[in-house]
């Protein structure tokens, strides 16, 4: 199908206001890196996600789902396909007793704030993670001893056959920075079960966690958070620092002086710069300590 016909069909399915062409991905990820996506579409409902995925499959057009792009590294040449963004237009959050039902595009910060204002404890850990619920469930995001696994009780999702289904509890197969959705499926919404708590205590914990982030993490630079997963028995940042790589630079990419676990974009970094610095870091750490660092950041290209 030619480009004009794809555009016409996407406009029909989603409304022209939700379809962008040749969109710089650097605008849609926290690394601020990446070339153009042929199509960047924003969905407003599970039905629209299903429709656009069905269309992409039927025409053999590659597609990739994003939330806030806070764990993404996009190729300099961009993406030849459809980026399906689940964000602001799918971000309703409702509270019922101890349970919060959030759509995939709601940010963790907002959900955590809503939890706090309803005196619901358990999501404090998530308040400073700059992603959406969908990205956080996919990644089993976690911090300060908490992870999505601890709170998510059920998830509505689009399965690989295009059906909207629900899974509960252990069927999420949450592990370290992974969930069942790594094998396919698109998160549409999740229910989180929290505990009644004291509003002031909940807010104080969130402030404490966020202060710790500001002190320890290079939040003043674009990045995708921790570049590497935590290798069993080690901390990636400590290994990288002990390998003498703190401050190592390739082009505009740099191993943060503040937190060696973060590769930051000091201005004008290309994806190639970051990939070369990742590889260099992996090689030096492996040579010195025999530990293989795996990337936590997802690559799109
Ligand atoms: C400064 C900074 C600090 C960070 N701190 C932490 C931290 O403390 N703990 C932590 O775990 N992470 C952290 N991260 C990484 C990131 O915020 C999390 O991984 C977050 O959960 C990603 O969510 P997102 O919406 O941005 O996902 P994206 O980056 O858009 O996507 C990440 C992956 O999730 C998939 N995905 C996104 N939405 C969906 C969906 N609806 N259905 C299925 N798959 C989907 C994408 O295809 C991709 O593979 C940090 C990042 C930054 C920049």
Nearest CA to ligand 1 atom 20: 131
- Residue 145 dihedral angles phi and psi, to the nearest 5°: 85, 0
Which of 109, 132, 134, 135 to mutate to test ligand 1, by most ligand atoms within 8 A of the CB atom? Answer: 135
User: What are the C-alpha distances in Å from 163 to residues 59, 155, 189, 213, 265?
Assistant: 18, 13, 14, 39, 39
How far is it, in rounded angstroms, from Cα 179 to Cα 146? 15
Written as six digits, the tokens of 136 are 């956080």
Question: Which residue from 30, 63, 70 has its CB within 8 A of the most atoms of ligand 1, so it is best to mutate?
Answer: 70
Condensed to tens digits (0 to 9), the pLDDT of residues 20-30 reads: 999 999 999 99
Q: Does the pLDDT at position 1 exceed 80?
A: no
Rounded Cα gap, residues 196 and 175, in angstroms = 26
Closest to 142 (Cα-Cα) out of 118, 157, 124:
124
* Average pLDDT across the chain, whole number: 97
Q: What is the pLDDT of residue 224?
A: 98
CA 51 to centroid of chain Cα atoms: 23
Four-residue CA torsion sign, 78, 83, 86, 88:
positive
Tell me: pLDDT of 199 over 90.
yes
pLDDT of residue 148: 98
Question: CB of 224 closer than 6 A to ligand 1?
Answer: yes
- Express each pLDDT in 128-147 by its tens digit: 999 999 999 999 999 999 99
Calpha distance 293→103 (Å, rounded): 33
| Domains of the chain with bracketed CATH | 3-88 (3.30.43.10), 91-202 (3.30.465.10), 218-300 (3.90.78.10)
pLDDT above 90 covers what percent of the chain? 100
Q: pTM surpassing 0.85? A: yes
d(CA 166, CA 293): 34
Band (9; pLDDT cuts 50, 70, 90): very high
C-alpha–C-alpha distance, residues 258 and 29, integer Å: 21
Q: Are strands 72-74 and 298-300 parallel, antiparallel or unpaired?
A: parallel
CA of 8 to the centre of ligand 1 (A): 31
- According to DSSP, the residues that pair with 92 across neighbouring strands are none
Instruction: Indicate the pLDDT class of residue 109, thresholds 50, 70 and 90.
Output: very high
Ligand 1 atom with the smallest distance to the CA of 181 is: 43
Name which residue sits closest to atom 36 of ligand 1, judged by CA: 135
What residues contact residue 249 under an 8 Å CB cut-off, 6+ apart? 255, 266, 277
3-state SS class at 193: strand
Question: What's the mean pLDDT in 224-244?
Answer: 97
Cα 107 to averaged position of ligand 1 atoms, centre (Å): 10
- Cα 131 to averaged position of ligand 1 atoms, centre (Å): 5
Model confidence at 290, pLDDT cuts 50, 70, 90, reads very high
Q: What's the confidence (pLDDT) of residue 212? A: 97
pLDDT exceeds cutoff 90 at 271: yes
108: closest CA among 73, 141, 85?
A: 141
Q: What is the pLDDT of residues 55-104, one digit of tens each?
A: 999 999 999 999 999 999 999 999 999 999 999 999 999 999 999 999 99
Q: For residues 45 and 213, what is the distance between their CA atoms, to the nearest angstrom?
A: 33
Instruction: Tell me the DSSP string of 8-23.
Output: HHHHHHH-GGGEEEEE
pLDDT of residue 100: 98
Over 90: is that where the pLDDT of 112 sits?
yes
CA distance 21 to 134: 24
Distance of CA 70 to the CA centre of its chain: 5
Q: Which of 43, 225, 229 to mutate to test the pocket of ligand 1 (most atoms within 8 A of CB)?
A: 225
The CB of 142 under 6 Å from ligand 1? The reply is yes
Measured in Å, how far apart are the chain's first and last C-alpha atoms? 21
Q: Whole-angstrom Cα distance, residue 202 to residue 26?
A: 34
Q: How many CA atoms lie within 13 A of 72 on its CB side?
A: 32
Residue 230 has pLDDT above 90, yes or no: yes
Which stretches of 118-187 are DSSP H helices? 133-139
Q: Which atom of ligand 1 is nearest to the CA of 125?
A: 8
Question: The dihedral of CA 51, 57, 63, 65: what is its sign?
Answer: positive
Closest-lying ligand 1 atom to the alpha carbon of residue 141: 11
Catalytic residue among 177, 189, 223, 256: 177
Element (H, E) at 188: strand 186-193
* pLDDT score for 201: 98
% of the chain with per-residue pLDDT over 70? 100
């Amino acid at each position: 199908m030619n480009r004009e016909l794809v555009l016409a069909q996407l406009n029909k399915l989603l409304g022209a206001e939700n379809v962008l062409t040749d969109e710089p991905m650097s605008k849609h990820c926290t690394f601020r890196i990446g070339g153009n996506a042929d199509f960047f579409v924003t969905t407003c409902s599970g039905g629209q996600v299903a429709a656009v995925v069905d269309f992409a499959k039927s025409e053999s057009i590659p597609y990739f789902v994003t939330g806030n792009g806070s764990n993404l590294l996009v190729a300099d040449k961009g993406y030849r396909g459809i980026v399906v963004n689940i964000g602001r237009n799918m971000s309703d959050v409702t509270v019922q007793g101890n349970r919060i039902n959030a759509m995939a595009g709601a940010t963790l910060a907002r959900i955590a704030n809503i939890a706090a204002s309803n005196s619901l404890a358990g999501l404090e850990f998530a308040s400073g993670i700059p992603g959406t619920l969908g990205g956080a469930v996919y990644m089993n995001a976690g911090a300060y001893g908490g992870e999505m696994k601890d709170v998510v009780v059920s998830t509505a999702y689009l399965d690989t056959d295009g059906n909207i289904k629900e899974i509960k509890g252990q069927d999420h197969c949450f592990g370290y920075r992974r969930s069942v959705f790594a094998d396919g499926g698109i998160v549409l919404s999740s229910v989180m079960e929290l505990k009644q708590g004291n509003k002031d205590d909940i807010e104080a914990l969130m402030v404490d966690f966020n202060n710790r982030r500001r002190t320890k993490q290079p939040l003043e630079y674009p990045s995708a958070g921790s570049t590497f997963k935590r290798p069993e028995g080690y901390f990636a940042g400590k290994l990288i620092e002990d390998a003498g790589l703190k401050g190592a630079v390739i082009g505009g990419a740099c191993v943060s002086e503040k937190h060696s676990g973060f590769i930051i974009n000091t201005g004008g970094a290309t994806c190639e710069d970051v990939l070369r610095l990742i590889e260099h870091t992996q090689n030096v750490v492996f040579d010195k300590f025999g530990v293989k660092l795996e990337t936590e950041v997802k690559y799109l290209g």
